Amino acid sequence: MDSSYTRLKGGVGAPLGFLTSAVGCGIKNPAATRLDLALIYSEVPCSSAGAFTTNRVKAAPVRVTQAHLRKGDLRAVIANSGNANACTGVQGIDDAKAMCAAVAAPLGVNQSEVGVCSTGVIGLPMPMLRVEPKYNDLIDRLGAKNGSNVASAIITSDTHIKEQAISFELGEHRVRLGGCVKGAGMISPSMATMLCFITTDANIPRDTLRKAVLECVEESFNRITIDGDMSTNDTVLVLANGASGMPPIRRNGKRCKQFRAALRWLMLELAKAVVRDGERVTKFVTVQVRGARTYLDAKKVAEAVCKSALVKSSWNGGDPNWGRIIHAVGYSRALIREELVDIHIGGKAACLGGLQAATPMEELRAIVAEPEFEIIINLNQGDADYVMYSSDLSPEYIDFNRSEYAYWKQARKDGLV
């Protein structure tokens, strides 16, 4: 963390001029004891930008939010967890639009100024009868500095909320940047399965913001993988309302670079938090690929290693198994040369020139026994590099994901299926 950043509380509620609220509707659990509907609202107009799943099966809220962003800027976001509103057809689109409309009217904004996000089970209709009675509460509870409620309302299989907020100087003004993220399973690059909301009171024009967001997403959320599955609902939304009073950030200026650095830092913190909280994850592994001929080759190698079930199983077992790592390097489709590959684990050589290095096995085992370690794969063929953040795959992950039948049973009780 840059020493000029000051940590703040309140996540997406930390920046000036943003109000947030969250309620429990009973989408996540029928007793409605868990928060599952959230609202973010800026008291003044915003510029905004988004990044979305590249899955061709896109949930209704993704389609609706993309359409709203094409029309203009967002000023509010409504989000629910427990139901993804994905594969729900025309009804799903209607439901997503209705969620926007329901909060737009009391907030006094256009329906198209509201973004909508959903996360949860795929293929079941949204339980709108549970959501509709809660809109009034959601509006009534809007308040400053309580962004943690939003972080709480969007999580599903996450074990804890994930949020960050900082303030920093931008020219003569202090600005705030806050964010929260959810995601633990169905996590794969381009993008990870997640919702992420980021707010800032910096003043940054739409186009400049959009460029910064896409660049920072590429270097953060597109660099993580837990299970290699890519969701139908991934969304990152960034709202900048300028409430700090600063003049607009100029594209490519010094302040633009500073803002981008802060945004990248925040996104990377949130992305790493997703991996650390991955479903039944016990290891956080940074995989650095160096010396590739091309950026694309470096990326292919990193993704193959980070997604290999056998490599991930060995990490789960604390086994510094470089043979499985190099076998994934080999099938990555990058043009690697086996006899040039070096693999270092926690700074110690495991494989040099495609062969076993002299490091005693016990030293490597001690590194991989830790909850976090770094693997450097040097292809020794060029200057391109790539980094990814990955996890192990545990027996408990499979066990956890064996069945979503309970959701169907609840949907039947609700008369939805």
Footprint on residues 309-348 left by a second copy (CB under 8 A): 309-310, 313-314, 316-319, 321-324, 326-331, 334-339, 341
Q: In terms of Cα–Cα distance, which of 109, 118, 102, 99 is closest to 42?
A: 109
- Rounded least distance, CB 345 to a second copy, Å: 13
- CA dist 416 and 406 (Å) reads 14
| Residue of 80, 149, 167, 231 interacting with a second copy (CB under 8 A) | 231
- Looking up tokens 């928060």 gives 35
Question: How many angstroms separate the CA atoms of 78 and 61, rounded?
Answer: 10
Nearer to a second copy, 248 or 354 (CB): 354
Closest CA to 317 of 392, 389, 373, 388: 392
Question: In the complex with a second copy, which residue's Cβ is closer, 261 or 340?
Answer: 340
Contact of 182 with 156, CB cutoff 8 Å: yes
| 361 sits near a second copy (criterion: CB under 8 A) | yes
Is residue 403 part of the contact set for a second copy (CB under 8 A)?
yes
**Nearest 5°: CA angle at 3, between 284 and 13?**
75
* Least spacing, CB of residue 309 vs a second copy, in Å: 4
Identified catalytic residue from 20, 193, 232, 235: 193
Where on the phi/psi map is residue 67: left (φ > 0), alpha (ψ -120 to 50), or beta? alpha
Residue 379 lies near a second copy (rule: CB under 8 A): no
Q: Are 177 and 10 in contact (CB under 8 A)?
A: no
Among 88, 164, 203, 391, binds a second copy (CB under 8 A): 88
Stretch that binds a second copy, among 56-64, 130-138, 262-270, 381-389 (CB under 8 A): 56-64
Q: Is 54 tagged catalytic?
A: no
Radius of gyration of the chain (CA): 22
How far apart CA 281 and CA 278 sit, in angstroms, is 5
Which of 186, 196, 213, 217 is in the footprint of a second copy by CB under 8 A?
Answer: 186
Regarding 182 and contact with a second copy (CB under 8 A), the answer is no
Residue selected from 106, 132, 395, 413 as contacting a second copy according to rule CB under 8 A:
395
Distance of closest approach, residue 348 Cβ to a second copy, in angstroms = 15
Asked if residue 415 binds a second copy (CB under 8 A), the reply is no
Q: Does 65 help bind a second copy (rule: CB under 8 A)? A: no
Contact region with a second copy (CB under 8 A), list: 33-41, 101-109, 223-231, 248-256: 223-231
Query: Is residue 363 at the binding interface for a second copy, with CB under 8 A as the rule?
Result: no
Looking only at residues 246 through 305 of this chain, which bind a second copy when binding is defined by CB under 8 A? Answer: none
> What's the closest the beta carbon of residue 397 comes to a second copy, in angstroms?
7
365 binds a second copy (CB under 8 A): yes
Name the amino acid, one letter, at 263.
Answer: L
Q: Please, what is the minimum distance in Å from the beta carbon of residue 218 to a second copy?
A: 17
Name which position in 45, 72, 123, 205 contacts a second copy (CB under 8 A).
123
Q: 130 phi and psi, to 5 degrees?
A: -85, -30
55 part of the interface to a second copy, by CB under 8 A: yes
d(CA 408, CA 96): 21
- Sheet with 143-144, edge to edge strand ranges: 114-121, 76-83, 37-42, 18-23, 143-144
Instruction: Kindly state whether residue 121 participates in binding a second copy, applying the rule CB under 8 A.
Output: yes
Bridge-based pairing state of the strands 173-182 and 162-170: antiparallel
Tell me how many residues contact a second copy (CB under 8 A).
72
Least gap, CB of 377 to a second copy (angstroms): 12
* Complex with a second copy: residue 31 or 358, whichever CB lies closer: 358
Interaction between residue 67 and a second copy (CB under 8 A): no
Cβ–Cβ < 8 Å for 249, 256: yes
156 binds a second copy (CB under 8 A): no
Task: Return the beta strands (E) in 109-265 as ranges.
Answer: 114-121, 143-144, 162-170, 173-182, 195-200, 224-225, 235-240
Residues annotated as catalytic are 193
